[in-house]
Amino acid sequence: MKKSTARRSAEALIEGLPYIQQFQGKTIVVKYGGNAMNSVELQQDFCHDIVFMKSVGLEPVVVHGGGPQISRDIKAAGLQSKFVDGLRMTDRQTMDIVENVMINEINRDLVNMISNIGWEADGLGGTLQNPQLIHAEKLVSSKLDPLTRMPIDFGFVGEVKKIRTDLLNLESHQTAIPVVAPVGVDDQGLTYNINADTVAGAIAEAVEAEKLVILTNTPGILDVNGELISTLTSEQLEELVDLGVIAGGMLPKVRCAKHALDSGVHTVQIIDGRLPHSALLEIFTDKGVGTMIT
């Protein structure tokens, strides 16, 4: 290794040291989604990031999405995807596709990839080994259908009623890394599709996480001119929503960010999942790679 390369490597490690010390033993909830899920190389980078966090004493909890993969299978089945305020309308046939993609494809693959890198991982959520991790209830929307003027029925879209934190097993550093599929179960045993950002926020609140990190397909939160905003308060976040600067698929992210902050989570980071090792860069470097909300 050349001297200059060795020095840069050493400097990067030293830069990360105070963050390792600061966050050791703290829970970091990471929502994994976006284009990072569509690239095998970025998947490997992400899983290495998670194993690194666990290896230096942090307690990562992974909550994954699966929107592009679900849309792919919905299209293959001859169905159409419909979204309202970033939430997917979900009938029973769509819910079957959601469960299959989330649990039998994405969750299984992430668990295997993390385990192959060198740390045991547990798949949780939905109809997996611990089906009651996410206790759900049907989402009751206040948004009105413009034609009927009745509340929109999202079908099998749910919201989090309770998180069984004991099933995450975060007490010991030697425990497996939880990998959560955002599928919940209600009192009658019905399964619901829950927005992954919402689930990540609910888990962060329930375990009193130090950080909630959300990977997206954008550099972070952008201003009216499309420029990255490095830091925001929750009040400034509300202003951007009211002005319509934040809309569409970013709405569930900022809503869960604000709710998490109001519930005691220290900071929320919305970062660019298209960058290699973006989670490590955000947590263990001075500059970071996205928007920090405080």
Number of domains in the chain: 1
d(CA 70, CA 94): 9
Q: Answer yes or no: is 8 within a domain.
A: no
In the chain, which stretches have pLDDT less than 70? 1-3, 34-35, 126-131, 144, 146-148, 172-173
pLDDT value, residue 172: 63
Q: Tokens 């955002």 map to which residue?
A: 182
Q: Which range marks the domain in which residue 259 is found?
A: 23-293
Residues linked to residue 61 through DSSP beta bridges, in sequence order: 29
d(CA 273, CA 127): 28
d(CA 198, CA 203): 9
pTM for the full predicted model:
0.90
∠ at Cα 267 (266, 271), nearest 5°?
160
Which residues, at least 6 apart from 2, have a Cβ–Cβ distance to it below 8 Å? none
CA 136 to chain centre: 17
Q: Answer yes or no: is 94 within a domain.
A: yes
pLDDT value, residue 192: 93
Q: Answer yes or no: is 284 within a domain.
A: yes
Going 15 to 16 to 18 to 19, the CA torsion angle's sign is positive
Tens of pLDDT, residue by residue over 35-78, are: 677 788 999 999 999 999 999 999 999 999 988 889 999 999 99
Q: Answer yes or no: is 27 within a domain.
A: yes
Q: How far is CA 79 from CA 1, 82, 90, 145, 275, in A?
A: 54, 10, 11, 21, 32
Q: Answer yes or no: is 18 within a domain.
A: no
Q: What number of H helices and E strands is found in the chain?
A: 9, 14
Amino acid at 62: V
pLDDT value, residue 126: 66
pLDDT value, residue 46: 94
In DSSP notation, 67-116 reads: HHHHHHHHHHTT----EETTEE-B-HHHHHHHHIIIIIIIIHHHHHHHHH
pLDDT value, residue 3: 55
Q: Answer yes or no: is 58 within a domain.
A: yes
Q: Answer yes or no: is 6 within a domain.
A: no
CATH number at 203 reads 3.40.1160.10
